[in-house]
Amino acid sequence: MQILHNELADCLQKGDVTEENLEKVYKDFGSLRHIRHYQHIARQEDRPCGDGFDAVVHFKEKVSHLDKFLVYAVNGRSINNRSAYVFKSSNDMAQLAVEMDIQGTGFLREEFAFLDVKHDRCREYKTATLWTYHPSMRKLLRLAVMDNEAENTKNLTVLWCIFNNMLQEETGQADYKFNPIGFIADEHHANFKAIKEVFGEVGAKKIKTCEFHYKQSVERHIMYLKIDFRNDFKKLAYNMLEAQSNSDYDAACVAMSSFCKKHVQLASWYEWWTKRKEHIFRAFKETNTPSANIAEIGHAQMAAWAHCNATLLEAAVDDVAQAVRQKHDLKAFLKGGHTGGTGITVNRRRAKQHMADMKRAEAHARQLEADLDSDVECTYIPDSGIHRPRNRPKKLRTVNAVKSMKKVTTAAKMSLSGKRTRMALRSVRKRSVRLPPEECGNVLGNGTASSLDKTQQTVVNNQGDDRKFQVVFCTPAIKTCYGCHQPFRNKYRREPSNVILKVMCHRAYTNALGRRVTSWHRQAAYFHLNLKCLRNYNLQASVDDIVVHNDISCKLSDDHIELLHNFGVSV
């Protein structure tokens, strides 16, 4: 505010002091935005030839014999009144970009391109950077950098056009375009519009955004809530992000929508992110998609070895020096030198990919079972093969159809009253009819079980569930006891405690919609060697129901046999 104070003092010292003059001074210098505007005008008057573009062009000529891509394109607004920019890359960076072609055979064909804009690199300019990850070097590598006047669609479109022109010179193909497996950027509209304009709709569908920014948004909007509701909102927001299938995502959205109806200040936030669900939420992304935009790590590296608030010439010198250093690091690494980084290893990435694939497979299995449960149709199969005559009169067909509808209505009423049995249903219906899934569950035991108490949900039913328990070994894939719902700890992975019990049954579980349902097919369920766990499944279970098959008995050690004998099982 010292500037405003000085301007007001100067105005008062002048002879013609009026209210209008004082108001004009306050309007011009009372806002920081206006002060910066006048500073920008003053700098333009002091530098009518531009912001050092002559020096950048002279530097370009000096280094062009080393690599023509080091300072590839320069444009000053004073030259053609177009947006000013300085584009920098290198021949090695162009080769890396070509190796990223998803339709090629390069070693980087599975790597994403990371785009971000740094705002404090050059004075009055924004620095757009493009990066990728080298899995063998375990290091982030830069592909291009461009200083421009603003972060908008026009300037980012220029960036991609110049980058494609460089790759066309590198490959010798006049129509070649950068073609990575995907792009990682933030939610700025210019990123999407520029990529769509240059690469088309196919390129726009490859754009995914940073989960870290989503979590930052969650933390900011938590402050709009009272303390009692903050953890609930954070949990619901993370459930939307981490859902692995469409059904899981829909269930998370239902919960979040209900929460936002009670807290209307978050309704716009929820609507904003759901419109961008294909960019951010994991249910709509491939499992190999990076969760964060690591271009920001590159920006941190730039801040460590380069100038901040530098001139265009200083930024060009820093970028060329980094390009030369990256070139020699690559050469040294190929010769066996230790020039790599400390990023994620190839094996660790494969392990994470496998875990993500397994989670996605489990989510799709839950969705498939939910779809099957929702589409169940109970159909009566007649014992007789007699069909109606083909040439039956139309009037007679109409009368019989009315009679059939009356029978179906009667059957539905009886099933809803709970006084029907399967035999009663079969005796009333003379031909095939469809019932809702809820009624199917009441008749066949495969529908929802929300009306049953907890004991009835776990007791063996009459759908072919085994009553005999088989002795098996506890493998890593077996996680939880079906009787007590407790995990199998490491104790049960070692001898002799690694013998457990198995039974084939229609498992009861909670689907993505929160309903208690029963699996359509028989599945394996596992129990501790404990009668209490067994009787949670079958109230009449006893030691006599435990059997040991020959393929298991031959593998049992003396300690196993002693443990089973102490429990009352004879081998």
What residue ranges define each of the domains in the chain, with the CATH number in brackets?
2-46 (no CATH), 53-210+292-334 (3.30.420), 211-289+344-372 (no CATH), 399-444 (no CATH), 454-567 (no CATH)
The H or E element that residue 99 is part of is: helix 91-99
CB 88 within 8 A of CB 63: no
Which structure tokens are listed for 488? 């199998």
Name every residue whose Cβ is closer than 8 Å to that of residue 375 and which is 6 or more positions away in sequence: 437
Q: What does the DSSP assignment read for 253-287?
A: HHHHHHHHHHSGGGHHHHHHHHTTHHHH-GGGS-T
CB atoms within 10 A of CB 108: 24
CB 376 within 8 A of CB 447: yes
- Token pair 């031909």 is found at 431
Main-chain phi, psi angles of 238, to 5 degrees: -70, -30
- Token pair 């890396």 is found at 96
Distance from C-alpha of 66 to C-alpha of 328, rounded to nearest angstrom: 13
Q: In this predicted structure, what is the pLDDT of residue 50?
A: 45
Q: In this predicted structure, what is the pLDDT of residue 458?
A: 47
Beta bridge partners of 183: 113, 207
Helix (H, G, I), strand (E, B) or coil at 473: strand
Query: Which segments in the chain show pLDDT lower than 70?
Result: 1-6, 8-9, 11-19, 22-23, 25-51, 369-464
Distance from C-alpha of 225 to C-alpha of 227, rounded to nearest angstrom: 6
pLDDT per residue as tens digits for the range 244-269: 888 889 999 999 999 999 999 999 99
CB 342 within 8 A of CB 138: yes
Q: In this predicted structure, what is the pLDDT of residue 442?
A: 40
CB 428 within 8 A of CB 406: no
Burial of 8 (0-12, 13-18, 19+ CB in 10 A): middle
Which structure tokens are listed for 505? 């049954």
Beta bridge partners of 487: 480
Name every residue whose Cβ is closer than 8 Å to that of residue 75 and which is 6 or more positions away in sequence: 82, 83, 84, 85, 86
Q: In this predicted structure, what is the pLDDT of residue 51?
A: 54
Q: What does the DSSP assignment read for 300-319?
A: HHHHHHS-SSB-HHHHHHHH
Cis ω for the linkage preceding 180 (within 30 of 0): no
Q: In this predicted structure, what is the pLDDT of residue 465?
A: 80
List own/partner pairs for 169-176 with CB under 8 A and 24 or more apart.
169/94, 170/91, 170/94, 170/95, 170/98, 171/98
Cα distances (Å, whole numbers) of residue 157 to 64, 161, 511: 25, 6, 46
Name every residue whose Cβ is closer than 8 Å to that of residue 24 and which is 6 or more positions away in sequence: none
**b/e code 397-407 from CB counts within 10 Å (16+ = b):** eeeeeeeeeee
Which structure tokens are listed for 314? 């200083």
Distance from C-alpha of 92 to C-alpha of 170, rounded to nearest angstrom: 10
Beta bridge partners of 142: 131
Global pTM value = 0.58
- Closest by CA position to 75, among listed 132, 155, 18, 14: 155
The span from the first CA to the last CA of the chain, in angstroms, equals: 91
Rg (CA), the chain: 35
CB 320 within 8 A of CB 70: yes
The H or E element that residue 546 is part of is: strand 546-547
Q: What phi-psi label fits residue 173: left (phi over 0), alpha (psi between -120 and 50 degrees) or beta?
A: beta
